[in-house]
Each structure stands twice: as structure tokens, then as C-alpha cells.
Amino acid sequence: MQNHKTQMSEGLAKLLADTYTLYLKTQNFHWHVTGPHFHSLHKMFEEEYIELANAVDEIAERIRALGAPAPASFGEFLKLTSIKEETAKPSAIEMVKKLLHDHETVIKHIESLMPLAQKVEDEATLDLLITRSEIHQKTAWMLRSSC
């Protein structure tokens, strides 16, 4: 049982790092988006980063409930994340494409964690993963529709 909790916690730690990095990138794009679609993208990015901020807390608390420490520093997040930091100032359409790619990356990671949660009957983690997957899928659809 402890091994499963460790595996689940490690997978959730990566999800937390991806979520936090995506939160920062989305907030960055919210601040720097320009162009003819400024208003709609500025608003959409704000809604997304607020949702991601709430997700960070939920994921970290689930890790703690499993008895593991949650990563909580930029250094830890950078080691764990699959999401690339954005240091350039891309065009609005490139921002949308980059965020779409990142949400799809997170969806794949979530889907990779679901079988373990099902196998060990960790319903609380599975519920969290399903909820996060649904949210990322909807966001990806909205971003895809904006390209």
C-alpha cells in the first residue's frame, strides 16, 4: 500500500509542477497579450490562470493527504515539470498554440496516472484526476477553437 501511495504522490508531484508552471505561463500571457483579439484572450487567460491557481492547492493537498511532502519551490517545479518556461513574448496566436500544447501535455500525464489510481482503488485521487482532465480538455477545446 505504501508503495502505491509513493507512486501516486510522485505522479501528483509532477502534475503539481506542470500545473504551477502552466499557471505562471498563462499569467505571463495574460499580462503580455496584444493584438486584435486582446480583450477576449486577456479575459480567457485570466479565467484560466485563476482556475489553475485553485488546482495547485487541490493537487498539493491531495499529495499531503497521501502522506508525502508537496513540492513547493521553483527549483523543485522546474525539475519535475514537462511544461517549458516562456521567456520570449510570442504573438497572440503563438500564445494560444503554446497553451494548447501544454494543456494536451497535462492531459496525457493525467491519463497516465489514472490506471494506478483505479488499480489501488484510490477513489479520491481518481476523482481529482477525472476533474482535472475534464477541465484541461475543455480548455484545450477552447484554445483549439481560438487558433
pLDDT digits (tens, 9 = 90+) for 30-62: 999 999 999 999 999 999 999 999 999 999 999
Q: Is pLDDT at 126 greater than 90 in this prediction?
A: yes
* Architecture of the domain delimited by 2-146: Up-down Bundle (1.20)
The domain locations on the chain are: 2-146
Q: Which residue has the cell 515539470?
A: 81
- Asked if residues 56 and 128 have their Cβ atoms less than 8 Å apart, the reply is no
> The pTM is what?
0.95
What pLDDT is stored for residue 1 in this prediction? Answer: 56
Whole-angstrom distance, CA of residue 31 vs CA of residue 78: 22
What pLDDT is stored for residue 147 in this prediction? Answer: 82
What pLDDT is stored for residue 3 in this prediction? Answer: 87
C-alpha dist (Å) from residue 140 to 19, 96, 101: 14, 9, 8
- Asked if residues 103 and 22 have their Cβ atoms less than 8 Å apart, the reply is yes
Nearest to 48, CA basis, from 114, 146, 130, 125: 146
Instruction: Read off the pLDDT of residues 65-98 as tens digits, 9 standing for 90 and up.
Output: 999 999 999 999 999 999 999 989 999 999 999 9
